Structure 1
């Protein structure tokens, strides 16, 4: 497991993490993540989460691709495009693996409706891609990288390496050195772009980072309660 070094003092990422520190702690303490840590998370809740996550990652990849097209730096564009590709590959690998392990059929997974939170989060990222500046879009994308690495690394440490853990594959995916390196690169990119942005843009970047982190909290919570549309009873689906 690779622990990420603290962002440079005075950088945007250090400010953003400090601003959302209580929320980051609350994410770790959500019932879903506590049950994931001790291995008691029910398979039907995890299956619901995996289906939602697979759909989210498609939208996340689209936002990354949009950011790649707007970068004026070839290396940064390559990183963002590569991250988009990795998100789609991960969606297929993890989703297919757990669908097979849980014995779910394609019909069963297709029957799980996209939750309001999943749709809201992906719609927010797409809206940032369409209507916000490149720096703000990067700030909105960053929490998905950083929060997942933080959660994965914390759980890996709490489980002593996750060997024999029922969700070992998931834990190690988001706590390994390769993912930590990607998160480090994402943070460095956001800090670099923020450093050359004006105060108003940095303010909007902080708002976007905070909103996306709120969506991260909501996403874990929505999986725990297997969130449905409250209007479903009024509609034939």
Structure 2
């Protein structure tokens, strides 16, 4: 069992609430209200800006060339991920500049600053554990939703599902799992696991809150 598996097992209820959230279920079924997806996507663009900063922090915190390279690769992948958001929002006539000018919602601020604060206070293991629910969870969700996409070529959220069910998404998730194991071998002690489990569970709950934000913002417009 990997360290990530141990963390996921310790936060099993929170992980299920995140990866099987109503937002995700509706997205997979293709009946998620478009305003909910739009609000989520814009906030996720702002979220990714802060996550790119977190990977920059990971590079700064590194103690080896591999650590630096991992931070740089995460930063680059996060920047590239924003292009999906730009393309989809362009279809609604929303520009990158308009997205960047949108106010961050409390759920966006809470999650991203929690990750950055965890990284500032702790070491690379703390930071990558805080990052892991996003990169690994999205690949897990994408893989689970992929059959719905294959069954319906006209799926309204086909591009999103295709992005996170791709081989690249799975590769990034697998690399993140392996790197957490490497960091665990370097930094982990039995006494430290409860703190890591707390970090992981908190970040996972914030992922679920992020989905809920999309639903709540759409409901507020009705």
Pair in the same fold by TM > 0.5? yes
Does residue 1:151 correspond to 2:157, yes or no?
no
Q: Which has the higher helix share?
A: 2
Q: 1:1-237, aligned counterparts within 5 Å?
A: 9=1, 11-91=2-82, 93-104=83-94, 109=99, 112-160=102-150, 163-196=153-186, 197-226=188-217
Judged with a 3 Å threshold, the aligned counterparts in structure 2 of structure 1 residues 25 and 112 are, in CA distance, closer, same or farther, namely same
Distance 2:60 2:150 in 1: 41
Judged with a 3 Å threshold, the aligned counterparts in structure 2 of structure 1 residues 28 and 183 are, in CA distance, closer, same or farther, namely closer
Higher mean Cα deviation, 193-202 or 212-221?
193-202
Judged with a 3 Å threshold, the aligned counterparts in structure 2 of structure 1 residues 185 and 107 are, in CA distance, closer, same or farther, namely closer
1:226 Cα offset (Å): 1.3
Structure 1's unaligned 5+ residue stretches are: 1-8, 229-237
Task: Show CA shifts across 1:73-115 (max 9, x none).
Answer: 3223212211111111211x12221121122356764674311
1:162 Cα offset (Å): 5.5
Task: Work out whether residues 142 and 186 of structure 1, in 8 Å CA contact, stay in contact via their aligned partners in 2.
Answer: yes
Structure 2's unaligned 5+ residue stretches are: none
SS in 2 for 1:40: coil
1:227 Cα offset (Å): 8.0
Distance 1:101 1:64 in 2: 29
Task: Show CA shifts across 1:198-220 (max 9, x none).
Answer: 22333322211111111111111
Higher mean Cα deviation, 19-28 or 44-53?
19-28
